[in-house]
């Protein structure tokens, strides 16, 4: 702290959980910047009594400079004042090694006084105060309680300088993003705009991998963690959009030796409302990434097989499975676009699966319709997550309903992902191809013809209430390989 401090006062408020997600995603970087051994995965939200601008030049920056920290104190408790570039000028969040609500004994509505070095505080210009008053006077807690209002006014606040950011540069980017999302929905214009945007998008900087010396660690557990960390870190050199290089664990949140390593998405949160019993099931995960979805259910399922086209991801998945002692999991390198889909059955011991995971894959592959059809032919159920533009996701859902008799929405949006919340999680059951195949096999037996398998490892009666349509039957007879 500096020699001269000022006190800023406010009241404690409940937030929406976004701070927790961002702190978890950047925990390692925050700990390094602040020299704290650990950072509590959450923040204490404070609504200030007046607008306050803090010096961007004096801030510690993380998450590519978009998020900022300043040292402060509440009584004898050191804290870090946290803001993001678009934060309204009367909102701060506090970060510390411990849970501050318990450490300070405060709850919603309680007053707090934060001491901060006076050199970090900047004057709020009269015009800025006027804009802030128009947006937030009488609505101080709305950034937390009225998310729609906050999002609707964010661009204006950015453009007019009533946020922590430097103003126009961030506003232009925000407005351009809004226009792009609207243009994508126009049938003819959308694809053209997407191609232009992709052509103009600068290539991401190359990820520089630096191997940690595991032998320098003191204990066997720390050495094992360091080696796994090296393998996970190396997956980020692939440069794919799903490598989640800004997160310590990459795409999936992992638990290793009782320690939680934050990733972009938490597998348990993704499936928290899934109404499907996976006990004793044989599960195939297409586009498995680091294998996090199978690893989190390894104690429930009989067998899990994960496929991914990136050898780095597959190496990481196998290394994690070995460390966890998950002898029922297998991971293979497989390209869904370039290799024959039927070969997948030869990679699965026994050649049969009960459930398929196809999660946020379809926008990345050209033959996604064939992959969905393959899944319907060889599994009783599929857990599917859509991805891409709104139009792409509608197309995907239409294809699902063509190949499955029962498709229900489990999650209308991907709230577990701080980066992308516009995906849907669906449970697909009563596959048309398998039910029609079983009907054909039964009909042939009645006619005296040799029985053939319906593609699922056995002949069963048609599902109750399932209607085998002529188009579905024709698809089975015309396209399935016997």
Query: Going residue by residue through the chain (482 aa), what tens digit of pLDDT does each one get?
Result: 435 688 999 999 998 878 788 888 888 888 888 888 788 888 999 999 999 999 887 888 888 778 999 999 998 899 999 999 889 999 999 999 999 999 999 999 999 999 998 888 887 878 788 889 999 999 999 999 998 899 888 888 888 888 988 555 445 555 666 677 777 677 777 777 777 766 666 555 667 788 888 898 889 999 999 999 999 989 988 866 666 777 788 889 898 888 888 888 899 889 889 999 999 999 999 999 999 999 999 999 999 999 999 999 999 999 999 999 999 999 999 999 999 999 999 999 998 999 999 999 999 999 999 999 999 999 999 999 999 888 889 999 999 999 999 999 999 988 888 777 889 999 999 998 665 544 333 333 333 433 333 333 333 333 333 333 333 333 333 333 33
Q: What pTM was estimated for this model as a whole?
A: 0.56
Q: Quick check: 103 and 187 in contact, CB under 8 A? A: no
Residue with tokens 């929405």: 409
3-state secondary structure of 178: helix
- The whole-number pLDDT of residue 437 equals 45
Q: Helix axis angle, 432-446 relative to 390-403, nearest 10°?
A: 20
Radius of gyration of the chain (CA): 26
The residue ranges of every structural domain in the chain are 5-142, 214-261, 270-433
Residue with tokens 């101080």: 140
Backbone angles phi, psi at 138, to 5 degrees: 80, 0
3-state secondary structure of 311: helix
3-state secondary structure of 108: coil
Q: What does DSSP say about strands 77-84 and 91-95: parallel, antiparallel, or unpaired?
A: antiparallel
- Reply yes or no on domain 5-142 having CATH 2.40.30.30: yes
Q: Measured in whole angstroms, how far is the alpha carbon of residue 375 from the centre of its chain?
A: 23
Interatomic CA distance for residues 30 and 165, integer angstroms: 20
Q: What does DSSP say about strands 303-308 and 282-286: parallel, antiparallel, or unpaired?
A: parallel
Q: Quick check: 156 and 135 in contact, CB under 8 A? A: yes
- The whole-number pLDDT of residue 127 equals 78
Reported residue count of the chain is 482
- The whole-number pLDDT of residue 462 equals 36
- The whole-number pLDDT of residue 171 equals 52
Which CATH number is associated with domain 270-433? Answer: 3.40.50.150
In whole angstroms, how far apart are CA 85 and each of 64, 168, 174, 431?
11, 12, 12, 48
* Tokens, residue 467: 């209607």
Burial class (CB in 10 A: 0-12, 13-18, 19+), 91: buried
With residues binned 3-state (H G I as helix, E B as strand, rest as coil), the percentages for the chain, rounded to 5, are: 40, 20, 40
């Amino acid at each position: 702290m500096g020699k001269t401090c000022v006190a800023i006062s406010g009241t404690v408020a409940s937030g929406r959980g976004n701070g927790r997600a961002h702190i978890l995603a950047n925990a390692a970087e925050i700990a390094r910047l602040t020299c704290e051994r650990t950072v509590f995965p959450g923040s204490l939200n404070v609504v200030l009594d007046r607008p306050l601008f803090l010096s961007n030049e004096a801030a510690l920056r993380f998450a590519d400079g978009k998020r900022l920290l300043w040292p402060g104190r509440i009584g004898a408790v050191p804290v870090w004042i946290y803001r993001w570039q678009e934060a309204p000028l009367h909102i701060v969040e506090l970060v510390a090694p411990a849970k501050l609500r318990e450490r300070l004994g405060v709850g919603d509505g309680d007053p707090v006084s934060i001491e901060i070095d006076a050199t970090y505080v900047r004057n709020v210009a009269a015009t800025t105060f006027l804009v802030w008053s128009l947006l937030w006077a009488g609505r101080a807690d709305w950034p937390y309680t009225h998310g729609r209002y906050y999002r609707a006014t964010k661009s204006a606040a950015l453009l007019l300088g009533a946020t922590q950011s430097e103003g126009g540069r961030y506003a232009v980017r925000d407005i351009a993003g809004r226009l792009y999302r609207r243009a994508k929905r126009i049938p003819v214009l959308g694809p053209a705009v997407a191609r232009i945007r992709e052509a103009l998008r600068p290539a991401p900087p190359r990820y520089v991998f630096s191997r940690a010396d595991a032998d320098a660690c003191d204990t066997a557990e720390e050495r094992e963690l360091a080696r796994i960390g090296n393998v996970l870190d190396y997956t980020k050199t692939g440069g794919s959009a799903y490598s989640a290089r800004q997160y310590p664990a990459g795409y999936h949140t992992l638990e290793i030796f009782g320690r939680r390593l934050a990733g972009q998405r938490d597998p348990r949160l993704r499936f928290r409302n899934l109404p499907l019993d996976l006990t004793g099931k044989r599960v195939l995960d297409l586009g498995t990434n680091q294998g996090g979805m199978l690893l989190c259910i390894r104690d429930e399922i009989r067998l899990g097989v994960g496929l991914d086209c990136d050898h780095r991801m597959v190496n990481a998945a196998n290394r994690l499975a070995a460390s966890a002692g998950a002898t029922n999991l297998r991971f293979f390198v497989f390209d869904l676009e370039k290799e024959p889909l039927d070969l997948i059955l030869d990679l699965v011991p026994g050649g049969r699966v009960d459930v398929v995971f196809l999660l946020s894959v379809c926008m990345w592959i050209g033959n996604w319709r064939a992959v969905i059809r393959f899944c319907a032919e060889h599994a009783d159920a599929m857990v599917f997550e859509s991805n891409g533009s709104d139009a792409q996701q509608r197309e995907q859902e239409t294809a699902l309903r063509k190949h499955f008799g029962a498709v229900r929405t489990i999650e209308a949006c991907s709230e577990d992902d701080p980066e992308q919340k516009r995906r849907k999680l669906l449970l697909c059951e009563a596959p048309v191809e398998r039910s029609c195949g079983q009907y054909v096999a039964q009909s042939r037996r009645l006619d005296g013809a040799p029985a053939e398998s319906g593609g699922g490892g056995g002949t069963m009666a048609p599902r109750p209430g399932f209607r085998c349509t002529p188009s579905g039957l024709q698809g089975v007879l015309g396209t399935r390989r016997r």
